[in-house]
Amino acid sequence: MGNIRTFMLMAAMTALFMGVGALISGQTGALVAFVIAGGMNLFSYWNSDKAVLSMTGARAVDERSAPDFVRMVNGLADRAGMPRPKVFLIDTDQPNAFATGRNPANAAVAATTGLLRRLSPEELSGVMAHELAHIRHRDTLTMTVTATMAGAISMLANFGFFFGGSDRDRPGGMIGTIALMVLAPMAAAIVQMAISRSREYEADREGAAICGHPDWLASALQRIEAAARGIVNPAAERNPALAHMFIINPLNGQGADNLFSTHPSTANRVAALMQMRGAPGAASRPVPGAGLSPSAVPRAGRRSGPWN
């Protein structure tokens, strides 16, 4: 159901993009908008991971610079039957994480140093399993494409104001153009956020199955949200369009699911994970690598000590 919902929302985003183009310049505008969207999506497909990692200030780490953390990620990926992603760290005190990349073979996961300091190995494994689930479902590409299209719709709406012809040629005249400038980007943002919320629930479910312990991820989500509310993430504040990529909104806490939130309510996510824990066999369904025990998690440090 989650994948069908995402497909429908993506189709709505594409239709909105072409509709804005049609309102500006008829069929020609719709065609031009379609070509622009295709070009931007192609560019995003090949370059999104590099751009996101650069914008967040992420630095690559390996088994020499962060041995325990990298071994944890590699172990989860191996047990899930996935290619090992590249691993990055972001030097900020706010606990958070995200995944990026065009496909599982060309993916990366990034965590903040604050996340490694504040979470136990069990909680951290739940978070990284969640990010691996995003990679498995190719959510990283989906969210990059929707962010690109949302930005393009805003740009196209602004172009329509300046280059859309005379008032007589514009549907609704000047009032219609102003409404287009305001409502089209708002509609695109709502669709983008709806896709983001849908994919977070799916990644929670799959991540819990990968690590085998829904309560690990549930505990991590609560701890991250509590800390993120009072700690500024400078890179996220400079690039708010990337907020939807993080496991918890890095800009501010969200109290409930609503049209204008990039993430579901943490309370709702925790409740869903706890239902998985209570369902017989839910956390141990046949996913390679499920059931990672605390003793199998590399001990890079507890909350009382720093990670490498």
**DSSP codes joined into one string, the chain:** -HHHHHHHHHHHHHHHHHHHHHHHHHHHHHHHHHHHHHHHHHHHHHHHHHHHHHHTT-EEE-TTTSHHHHHHHHHHHHHTT-PPPEEEEE--SS--EEEEESSGGGEEEEEEHHHHHHS-HHHHHHHHHHHHHHHHTTHHHHHHHHHHHHHHHHHHHHHHHHHS--GGGSTTHHHHHHHHHHHHHHHHHHHHHHHHHHHHHHHHHHHHHHHS-HHHHHHHHHHHHHHHTTS--HHHHH-GGGGGGBSS-SS----S--TT-SS--HHHHHHHHHHHHHSTTSTTSS-TT----GGGS--S--TTS---
Contact 140, 134 (CB under 8 A): yes
For the stretch 185-215, pLDDT in tens is 677 667 667 777 778 888 999 999 999 999 9
For the stretch 266-292, pLDDT in tens is 888 899 899 887 654 444 443 333 344
Q: Any idea which residue has 């017989």 for tokens?
A: 280
> What does DSSP say about strands 86-90 and 59-61: parallel, antiparallel, or unpaired?
antiparallel
In the residue annotation, 131 being an active-site residue is answered as yes
Q: Any idea which residue has 């020499």 for tokens?
A: 64
The pTM score is 0.72
Q: Is the pLDDT of residue 164 over 80?
A: no
The contacts of residue 150 (CB under 8 Å, 6+ apart) are: 13, 185, 188, 189, 191, 192
Residue 98 confidence (pLDDT): 94
Cα gap 179→2, rounded to integer Å: 32
% of the chain exceeding 70 in pLDDT: 60
Could you tell me how far CA 302 lies from the centroid of its own chain?
A: 27
Q: Which of 63, 122, 123, 131 is catalytic?
A: 131
For the stretch 34-90, pLDDT in tens is 677 677 767 766 777 888 899 899 999 999 999 999 999 999 999 999 999 999 999
For the stretch 113-122, pLDDT in tens is 999 999 999 9
Which of 48-57, 97-106, 174-183 is predicted least confidently?
A: 174-183
